[in-house]
Structures are given as structure tokens and as C-alpha cells.
Amino acid sequence: MSNASGLDAVWVIICTILVISMQAGFCCLESGLVRAKNSINVAIKNIVDFCTASLLFWFFGFGLMFGLTAGGWIGTSDFFADPAAIYKSGGLQHSVFFFFQLAFCGTAVTIVSGAVAERMKFSGYLVTSILISGLVYPVFGHWAWGGALYADSQGWLQNLGFVDFAGSTVVHSIGGWVSLAAIMLIGPRLGRFGPQGRPIEGHNIPLAALGMFILWIGWFGFNGGSTLALNSDVAGILVNTLLAASAGGIMVLCISWKLNGIPNAIQIMCGILAGLVAITAGCHAVGAVEAVIIGGIGGAIYITMSRLLIRLQIDDAVDAVPVHLGAGIWGTLAVALFGDPEILDTGLSLWGQLSAQATGIAAAGIFALPVGYVVLKLVDMYTPLRVSNTDERRGLNIAEHGASSTLMHVMESMERQRQTGDFDQSLTIEPDTDAGEIARHYNGVLKRFRTEVSARESALKNLRQAKQDAEFANAAKSQFLANMSHELRTPLNAIIGFSEIMNEEMFGAIGNAQYKDYAKDIQDAGLHLLGIINDILDLSKIDANKRDMEEVEVDLLETIDSTMRMVQTRADDAKISLLCNAEAEFPKFIGDRKAIRQILINLLSNSVKFTPPGGRITVSAVIESDGRLALSVADTGKGIAKHNIARVLEPFSQIAEDSSSTAYTSEGTGLGLPLVMALAKLHGGTLVLDSEIGKGTVATIRFPAERIVQEYEIAAAV
């Protein structure tokens, strides 16, 4: 063996080790781009698929791909490849060649693991690995590269002039086509699409970035080693690989920045990989400028295809299909568009070369996609390829491998508390871990929550007791007031009656004017006291919900007119104008006639009491735009200060005479307005006071529209 061939062997072995290191890159990239609950599953798949691919490729894959051809369709020799036998029969380079190609097979298989991540069973993925490494990859590889070991065993695509230097189609598109078949069959992840669909973020983007860099470094062995010799072409190939990757990353950086308003870290990493995939087919036959163009367009194709898959609701967990299939197709076509014909050495024109490249792309799709889909469909019919919804929500680390972590333990405990509502137990804390810190802070939240719940329960218990005590006291008060008012009414009525008789007899029999005044004072005082007792009794009945409502049709105009006549004498004596402002044809009102009359009497009495001579009192009744009845009494009296309005609505509360308010006499009990408000509430209405010192007061009661007689509403609408 010559020194030259020895250097070639060392170079290819070094490149093979770089290609195998890409498995570590795939492992980091895919593990970082999935959720933590599935990261172990992805890592194990990357490990096992390489083991499976290595054994199957040694068993019969290498022979199917590079053995003596059967019509350019399949290899028929070199099964159970024995490195020692290869060495004895012809040279070390054959053994090195086997080692190099085995690494390529592992790369093709691993592409699928990222695409189907987070929902494919481990057993189903093993079937997929066997399918690619044992059938799809070696058969198509024979079509494109069959003559690499035996010159007279070229595949049919090779004979057409198809060129794929390091595997844009043979490795990456084949992996991409099978990935597409798999994700179409198993469907999207839960929550990815639909009405509540959302992007699913990876748990460790820096780890994914590390994986991308490992892949980038390994790609130098992927492309550089495909020369199978340490010759003058290697340096140019390595430079083209570097430039294309950089161009792909920058292109996606610009596009994602334009589309999203911010540069997307994950898309930039995938853009770099797309540039690497695109340059792989023609890295030996293009210059630096062409490499930049090919890599940049590869990045653009990746992001376009990624958005297309999302629109079609096809879920690729790590964008493996856009990167490896989309950019792989473009890179294979770019060989014809940018490759140097002398280096390609196929003897084809531009269009002839383009036709050969397109034929190879079509052959890969027509072969890999249907075969992959049909085989996986048959397997799925026997045993489902996808995990259950429950397992998918739990995570494949636990469901598929029984693996867990302190973080998962914390999350499960929190989820269990959420479902059961039992927050009495604190979480177990694992010292000196991130999950332990989360548990510690969560336990602090639980402690505060339990304290607050305990305090609220205690306060609620006290509140219930206070409510019961208040209800009991209110009932006792109401009963006491009712009993007392009954006891007081009997002697009061007697006093009032006798005073009236005395007054009449004194006019006829006794002419003493002083005695006559005494009798009149007794009668007035008795009537005043009886009014107070009636107001107290009405308020106590309303408070105890014992005030019966007499729901009848009330002629509001007649009620206003009769009430105003009752107050007219007092208004005339006080030299106050008493006016009514209401439509002649006013609707009937459903309510309690006595209550409405009491409301008007109280409001008019207040206005007469606090309006100076020469003033004016106006009673208005209108139907507002929202259909409610507004009954108001407006006066030009002394008015109420804004800060005192709330006080006058409290029972037995009167405003003292001071510098900040109008002067009120001590006459009255402070029950008039509270009784008006209580009677209004019985009708579902509200009382609003609008007052200004020195200008007067407007008291407005608004009753619900439902209390207006329906016929009026229909007539008004017409």
C-alpha cells in the first residue's frame, strides 16, 4: 500500500468519525427542540437507530447498495461485510469505504427521529429505522452510487448521468421522504393545530444550538470525505460547505426578521442546516459564489416549505422535512444549474443534466414516500405507531421508558393537586436542584394559600354568625316596633278623637279661645305622632319583607292630582306655587297605589317644608327613552350639600344647622326620604337626589319599563 493511499485512508477514517459525531449533533438538536418530558425518548431513539442501522447495513444493506448489480436496480453480493476479508481481497480502502458508508446510512435514519418526535412509539420508530437502513436507503443508494465499489455495477440513475456527490438526495431527501410519510400517518401533536392550536416550544434552545454546531462540524467530514481521497479538491469542498451554511443562516435570519418582526433563533439554526443540505450534492463542482447562492436559496426554500406544512397542518417537530427534503431537492437541481460540466464529467448538456437530476429526485419520491407510507400503515394496523393521548400528555420519557426526573416529579405532584383540589400536602423538595427550588417556592405559595383559605373560612364563619345575629335583631326590632305601634295607636286615636270632639263642643258651648287652641294643639300633636308611628311601622315591615304589595293598575295622573290637592293648602299658606308637568294621555302604571301616594306625599311635604315663600314645586312624570317611568319632584328650596345627600337617606338622620349646609328645622324624624327609597325599591325602582345649595333639589324615582301597561308601549311604538 502506497503512502498516498495510506493518507487517503486516514483522511476518510477521520471524516467518518466526524460523520458519526453528527449523531451527537442530531441528539442535542432534537432533544433541545422538544419538550423536556420527551427529551430522553428522543435521545434514546438517536442512540438505538444508529445501532440498528450499523448492524443492518453490515448484515445486508452494504451488499444491496454496493454489491454486484442486478440490472442497475439492486446489489447482489458483499453481504455480512467482513473488514478482514475485504482487506485480504484487495486493499484497505475497501474496508475504509464500508466504514464511511455505514456512517452515511446512520445519518439517513436519524433524520426521521426529529420529525416524529413527541408522539411516535419507540417500537414504531424501530420499525422505521429498519425500513430505512435495511431497504429504502440501500436500494436507492444502489441506483445512484452503485458503481462506487465495483465500476461495472453502476445503478440505473448513475447511468443516466445523475450526480449527487455527498447525498443531498441519497441521504437527506430519502430521510425526508420517509419522515413525511411517517408524520402524515401518525398526525400532529396534541394542541399543535385546531381552534386552540399553538406553536410548541423546545425546552432547551442553547442545547439545540450546540447540536447544530456539532452537525456543522461533522458536515465537513460528510462532504470532505466523499472525495474518498485527500486530494486538491478537499479544501474547496470544505470552503463551499462553510459558505453555503453561512448563507443559509443569514438568508433565514433576514426572512424571519421580516416576517416575524424579530429574528427567530430556531429558524436560523435550521436555515444553516438547510444551506448544508443544499450544497452537499454539488460541493465538488461549484465555486464560492455559487455555493453562497445555493446555500441562501436553500435557506429560503426551507422557511417557505416550513410555513407550507404548517398551513397544511402537517406537524414536523424539528422541521426535518423542510430542511432535509426541501433543501435536498433544491441542492440536487442546483448541480445542473451551477455545476462545472468538466468536473461533473457526464457528457450531458445543461438541460440533459437537469433532466437527469429531476429524474433522480422524482425516483426518490416515488420510491421512498409510498413504500414508507405503506409499510408503516401495515405496521400501524397491527400495532399503533402512535402513543395514546394520555401517554403523550404525560410525556414519552415516562410512558415509553419509565424514566422521570425531579422536575417531572414536581410537575406530576402539582398536576395531581390541580385535579384533586387537595392542597394540604407540600411537595417533596430535592435539595440543590432547579426542580427543588421550584418545589420550595411552590410550597411557599401553598402555605400562603392555606393561611388565606383558613382566614377566609374563619371570616366567613364569623360573617354568617353576624348575619344570623343581625337578622335575629332586625326581626326582634321589627316585632317590637309593630307591637309598640299597635299599643300606641289605640290611645293616640282616642286622644285625637276626643280632641276633635272637645274642639267642636268648645265652639258651641265654651267660647274660651285659649282652651280652643289647647284642644287644637292636642289634635295636631296626636296626628303628627300617629304619622311618625305609621312611618316607623312601614319601614319595619319593609325591612322584615312583610310589607305586602298591592299590584294594580294605577292612574298616575289621578294619583298625582289627588296628592297635590292634599298638600295644596300647606303650599298656599307658605306662598309656594305647586305645578304638575305630565302628558294628558299618560299610561297606566302597575304598582301599589298607597305606596305611590305615600312617596308623593313625603316628597311634596319635604319640598314645602324647605322651600321659602315665593318658591316653586313641580311634579313631573315622563317615559324616558329606555322605557322607564321617571317620577320627579323638583323644588327651588334651600338645597342639600353634596356631602350630606347620603346622610338624608339614612333613617332618623337629620342635617344639623352649620356653615356648610342649609339650615334645617328640627321638625320631622328623618324617615321621609328613607321610606321613599324603600317603597321605590319594592317596585324595583331607584331614588336619585340631585341638589345644590341655594338652588333647590330634584328627587327622581325611576321605575322599570316592565311596570308600564303594555298597550301604551305598543301604541307608542306604532
CA 648 to centroid of chain Cα atoms: 50
Q: How far apart are CA 368 and CA 203, in angstroms?
A: 32
pLDDT at 258 over 50: yes
Per-residue pLDDT of 9-39, as tens digits, reads 899 999 999 999 999 999 999 999 999 889 9
Q: What is the pLDDT of residue 713?
A: 45
Closest alpha carbon to 665 in 676, 655, 673, 650: 655
Q: Grid coordinates in use for 487?
A: 299599643
pLDDT at 471 over 50: yes
Note whether 615 and 635 are within 8 A (CB). yes
Percentage of the chain lying above the pLDDT 90 cut: 45
Helix 205-224 to helix 233-260 angle (10° resolution) is 150
Q: What is the pLDDT of residue 640?
A: 84
Q: What is the pLDDT of residue 156?
A: 95
Q: Which fold has domain 552-717?
A: Heat Shock Protein 90 (3.30.565)
Strands (E), 119-235: none
Lowest model confidence (mean pLDDT) among 82-96, 501-515, 700-714: 501-515
Q: What is the pLDDT of residue 77?
A: 87
- Split at pLDDT 50, 70, 90, the class of 510 is very low
- The DSSP code for 657 is P
Q: What is the pLDDT of residue 658?
A: 44
Phi, psi of 469, rounded to the nearest 5 degrees: -65, -40
Q: What is the pLDDT of residue 520?
A: 61
Per-residue pLDDT of 618-671, as tens digits, reads 888 888 888 888 888 888 888 888 888 777 777 656 665 443 444 344 455 566
Taking residues 477-488, report their average pLDDT.
Answer: 62
Note whether 124 and 187 are within 8 A (CB). no
Q: How far apart are CA 386 and CA 372, in angstroms?
A: 16
First to last CA, the chain: 111
Percentage of the chain lying above the pLDDT 70 cut: 81
Q: What is the pLDDT of residue 506?
A: 45
Taking residues 119-131, report their average pLDDT.
Answer: 91
Amino acid 637 reads G
Q: What is the pLDDT of residue 652?
A: 59
Q: What is the pLDDT of residue 660?
A: 42
**Segment holding 22, helix H or strand E:** helix 3-33
Note whether 224 and 15 are within 8 A (CB). yes
Q: What is the pLDDT of residue 221?
A: 95
Say whether domain 3-399 belongs to CATH 1.10.3470.10. Answer: no
Per-residue pLDDT of 637-651, as tens digits, reads 888 888 887 777 776
pLDDT at 499 over 80: no
pLDDT at 605 over 50: yes
Q: What is the pLDDT of residue 162?
A: 96
Q: What is the pLDDT of residue 437?
A: 75
Residue that has been written with the C-alpha cell 443508494 in this structure? 141
Q: What is the pLDDT of residue 476?
A: 67
Domain coordinates in residue numbering, the chain: 3-399, 457-540, 552-717
Q: Is 184 exposed, middle or buried (0-12, 13-18, 19+ CB in 10 A)?
A: middle
Q: What is the pLDDT of residue 528?
A: 55
- Alpha-carbon distances of 525 from 533, 598, 608, 665, 672, rounded to whole Å: 12, 20, 19, 17, 18
Taking residues 409-419, report their average pLDDT.
Answer: 74
**Segment holding 697, helix H or strand E:** strand 696-703
Closest alpha carbon to 150 in 225, 224, 65, 233: 65
Q: What is the pLDDT of residue 106?
A: 92
Q: What is the pLDDT of residue 587?
A: 80
Q: How far apart are CA 97 and CA 15, in angstroms?
A: 11
Q: Is 494 exposed, middle or buried (0-12, 13-18, 19+ CB in 10 A)?
A: exposed
According to DSSP, the residues that pair with 699 across neighbouring strands are 633, 689
Q: What is the pLDDT of residue 516?
A: 61
- Alpha-carbon distances of 352 from 169, 273, 406, rounded to whole Å: 18, 29, 60
Q: How far apart are CA 706 and CA 718, in angstroms?
A: 18
Residue that has been written with the C-alpha cell 498516498 in this structure? 4
Taking residues 417-432, report their average pLDDT.
Answer: 74
Strand 616-623 to strand 696-703: parallel, antiparallel, or no bridges (unpaired)? unpaired
Note whether 522 and 505 are within 8 A (CB). no
Taking residues 328-344, report their average pLDDT.
Answer: 96
Per-residue pLDDT of 64-92, as tens digits, reads 999 899 999 999 988 887 766 655 444 55
Note whether 606 and 566 are within 8 A (CB). no
Closest alpha carbon to 57 in 45, 69, 67, 42: 67
Q: What is the pLDDT of residue 494?
A: 61
Q: What is the pLDDT of residue 603?
A: 84
pLDDT at 674 over 80: no
pLDDT at 237 over 60: yes
Q: What is the pLDDT of residue 285?
A: 95
Q: What is the pLDDT of residue 423?
A: 76
Helix (H, G, I), strand (E, B) or coil at 562: helix
Q: What is the pLDDT of residue 294?
A: 97
Strands (E), 567-685: 577-582, 589-591, 616-623, 629-635
What value does the mean pLDDT of the chain take?
83
**Segment holding 643, helix H or strand E:** none
Q: How far apart are CA 320 and CA 113, in angstroms?
A: 9
Per-residue pLDDT of 155-209, as tens digits, reads 999 999 999 999 999 999 999 999 999 999 999 999 899 888 888 989 899 999 9
pLDDT at 280 over 80: yes
